[in-house]
Each structure stands twice: as C-alpha cells, then as structure tokens.
Amino acid sequence: MTQPNAVHDQRVGVWFVGARGSVATTATLGALAMAAGLAPRTGLVSELPEVAVAGLPSLEGLVTGGHDILETPLAHRAQVLADSGVFPPSLVTTLADELAAADSRIRIAPRLGTQRENARAVEQDIRDFRAANDLDRVVVVDVSNTEPPVTPRPELDSLAALEEALDAGHAPLPTSSLYAYAAFRAGCPLVSFTPSPGATLGALTELAKEQALPWAGRDGKTGETLVKSALAPMFGTRALKVRSWASYNMLGGGDGQTLSDPRAALSKTTTKGAGLDAILGYHVDGPMHIDYVEDLGDWKTAWDNISFEGFLGTRMTMQFTWQGCDSALAAPLVIDLVRLAARAHERGENGVVGALAFFFKDPLGGIDHTLADQWRTLAQWCENLGASA
C-alpha cells in the first residue's frame, strides 16, 4: 500500500494515558517495528488509499511517551504479550534499544495534593515532552482502565464552575477527565479510546472549543461491536426483523479484570448496546455479558446468537464466534487515530470530530452506527482533508 500524500517533515508525539498497558505497549512496539520495516502494515486503516489520501504524518515521525501508575519497563510488558502470542517474540529482542528509549519517555502519573496540582503537573509533563522531542504537535490518547459513569454535578457542566471548584481545592473530575483537561490546557488534541467520561463532560467540551482543539471518541470498536455494526444493517436492509441478539464476551487481560467490576462494566455494556437499536430503528432484547476468564489472557472470545423473523413469520437464527486478540485489534486503530487527529489539528478542525465514528463503539458527534456508512463518511472527510492541502 502506498502513502503518496504522507507529510514526512512532521514530528508527532503520542502521549498515552496508560502508557504501560497492553494497548499502548502493542501500539508503541508496532509503530517502531513498522517504521523499521520489520512488520507489514496490516490492520492500519490509515494505510488504505481512501484514508491515506488525507495526507497523514508518517509512522517514522511518531514519538511515544505518556503516564502510567506502574514502573514495569515496557520491554517486560512486551515480553509477556509476545509470550501469549500477541506479536512475535523476535520483535522484542530486535527492538530492545528503541523500547528502552520509549520507556524513558514515560513518567509516573502525578499523585499530588489537589486535582488542580495534578492537572498542572500532567500539563507540564506533556509540554516538556513536546519541547524535549522537538515535536510539531502531541496527541493525547486515553488507553487507561475503564471508569464507571459519573453522577451529574454542576461543576462538570460548565468550565467556569469547574475552574472554581478546582481553585477551591475540590476534586470533581474522574481521572479520565482530569487528563482531558490537562491535554486541552497543553494545546493537544485528544483521543478517548475507552468508554470513560473523558472529554464528554460539558465543562471539558467547552474547554476544547475555547482552545480550538479537535478530539475524538469514544471506546474503540475492535471486536464484537465491530461485527455487529457490519451485520445489523444486513438485517435492516433485508427487512428481516431481529427478535433477540445475545452477546457473550470472555476476556482475560487487564481490561477483562477491570470489567469484572460491575460498575466499570456498566460504561462498557452501555456503549456496546447502543449501536444495535440505533441501526435497526427499534429496541432489540438480549443478554449481554462481559466475563473475566483469566485463562484467555489477551485473547477475547465472543459468541452472539441472533434470532430473527422473516417472510410469513418464519423464525431463523444466525450465530457467530469471534476469537480475536484485543491489543492487536486496538493498537493499529490507536495509531490511525493519532495520525488522523494530528492531521485534523494541522488543518485547524476543532470540537468533536464526528467523521471518526468508524473507529468507535459510541461515536461522539457522529449520528450513524452502520459501519459502511461510517466508512463512507471517513473516506469523504479524508478526501477533503487531502484536497485542502
């Protein structure tokens, strides 16, 4: 696949919130491997001609860094992932120096007295990263653990009220939103790859607009929901009535463990469930479970049972099984989103970028859940971005 419109003279930083997690580790190693010509670009949507036409920053110009609460070196985490089959072990050995360099750009997440102080420290770390690495721009990407939904509060709705609360030493923000706040203050576009609140709170949306920054979210569409958004329109356009759609998910990695907490799972099952009804135009019943099965590691197995009704009321069924590697599915999308968000920033877009709905379970600013329509919207947007060069 060629990339004729790539802008090679850009240096783009990626600041991961959760920089030592599975997704960030896989994305970091993958970007290094592809830049070094050690791996094909399979899975990268941004390498397809319809998307590359936007004129995206090259993989060679990406520089990663970020925050994490753990100190485990990247190389160690990469080895664990390689052992469980996420990528070939040889990559970890060959890229040992580059991984060590990437690791040196990760800082321990600040845990100071007040949220105001923490937000400032995060913002400063990002600014330091941009300056130290001579970057044209930095995209902040949230790939940390899923948080529960927030309870509505006035200081989450207006920027002025939020600033006042922070000044007063209060701590109204969930962590994902604190990072969104710091990212915007540092002048960085944001990608929300988890279902956490992030920038969806009114106060943050206001801040992004004020700073004229683009952002995108939320919750990367990597597996079962991706299949749903491809299959459900088939039932719709064939006038087949879906009677029930059961969704069973098993996952053993870090995200699986987080989601075994029912409060966190609520964020996830909400974003997972929304699309089906939206695509079909009516409510579809059916159980949805996300189970933590330690044995499966980073490999996710999903099974869906669809019961539908056709001509003269005849009942039929379809079932599918999805056996995918969660990090291997998420990591390329993260790289795609960084390149696209960087390009949008360069072109001066701001606010939620609805044209990126293709990548998300809960597409903010996008009205469509149908995968094919999301693809067309994306391709059109990319063509415009490229043309505007």
Site residues for its own copies, window 218-277 (CB under 8 A)? 226-227, 230-231, 233-234, 237-241, 243-244, 246, 248, 250
**Is residue 5 a contact point for its own copies (CB under 8 A)?**
no
Whether the Cβ atoms of residue 17 and residue 66 lie closer than 8 Å to each other = yes
Minimum Å gap between C-beta 68 and its own copies is 21
Whether the Cβ atoms of residue 52 and residue 1 lie closer than 8 Å to each other = yes
Minimum Å gap between C-beta 268 and its own copies is 16
Residue from the set 108, 210, 294, 389 that interacts with its own copies by CB under 8 A? 294
Residue from the set 163, 206, 277, 309 that interacts with its own copies by CB under 8 A? 309
- By C-beta, is 186 or 231 nearer to its own copies? 231
- By C-beta, is 126 or 264 nearer to its own copies? 264
CA separation (Å) from 195 to 41, 46, 217, 315? 27, 23, 8, 35
Our separate counts of H helices and E strands in the chain read 15, 11
Q: Please identify, among the stretches 67-75, 188-196, 267-275, 320-328, the one whose residues bind its own copies according to the rule CB under 8 A.
A: 320-328
The token pair at 213 is: 């920054």
Minimum Å gap between C-beta 35 and its own copies is 13
**Is residue 289 a contact point for its own copies (CB under 8 A)?**
yes
In the DSSP assignment, the letter for residue 310 is: -
Minimum Å gap between C-beta 24 and its own copies is 13
**Is residue 293 a contact point for its own copies (CB under 8 A)?**
yes
Helix, strand, coil: what percent of the chain each, to 5? 50, 20, 30
- The residue among 88, 2, 85, 23 whose CA lies nearest residue 333 is 23
Q: Please identify, among the stretches 61-69, 112-120, 156-164, 321-329, the one whose residues bind its own copies according to the rule CB under 8 A.
A: 321-329
Minimum Å gap between C-beta 364 and its own copies is 20
CA 251/CA 290 separation, integer angstroms: 7
Q: Please identify, among the stretches 149-157, 267-275, 280-288, 340-348, the one whose residues bind its own copies according to the rule CB under 8 A.
A: 280-288
Minimum Å gap between C-beta 37 and its own copies is 13
Residues 74-103 that bind its own copies (CB under 8 A): 85-89, 91
Query: 239 — phi, psi (to 5°)?
Result: 60, 30
169-178 contacts at long range (C-beta below 8 A, 24 or more positions apart): 169/114, 169/116, 170/115, 171/114, 171/115, 172/115, 173/115, 173/201, 174/147, 174/150, 175/144, 175/147, 176/17, 176/142, 176/144, 176/147, 177/150, 177/201, 177/204, 178/115, 178/118, 178/119, 178/122
- By C-beta, is 172 or 233 nearer to its own copies? 233
- The residue among 72, 77, 64, 360 whose CA lies nearest residue 215 is 360
Minimum Å gap between C-beta 274 and its own copies is 19
Q: Is 139 helix (H, G, I), strand (E, B) or coil?
A: strand
Residue from the set 183, 307, 342, 353 that interacts with its own copies by CB under 8 A? 307
Minimum Å gap between C-beta 381 and its own copies is 14
Whether the Cβ atoms of residue 225 and residue 361 lie closer than 8 Å to each other = yes
CA 99/CA 227 separation, integer angstroms: 33
According to DSSP, the residues that pair with 343 across neighbouring strands are none
Whether the Cβ atoms of residue 19 and residue 67 lie closer than 8 Å to each other = yes
Residue from the set 21, 30, 57, 254 that interacts with its own copies by CB under 8 A? 30
Query: 205 — phi, psi (to 5°)?
Result: -55, -40
**Is residue 285 a contact point for its own copies (CB under 8 A)?**
yes
Residue from the set 325, 341, 352, 355 that interacts with its own copies by CB under 8 A? 325
Q: Please identify, among the stretches 7-15, 27-35, 110-118, 205-213, the one whose residues bind its own copies according to the rule CB under 8 A.
A: 27-35
Minimum Å gap between C-beta 331 and its own copies is 5
Crossing angle of the two packed helices 175-185 and 115-132, in degrees rounded to 10: 50
Residues 144-163 that bind its own copies (CB under 8 A): none
Residues 34-63 that bind its own copies (CB under 8 A): 39-45, 47-48
**Is residue 324 a contact point for its own copies (CB under 8 A)?**
yes
Residues 336-375 that bind its own copies (CB under 8 A): 358, 370-373, 375
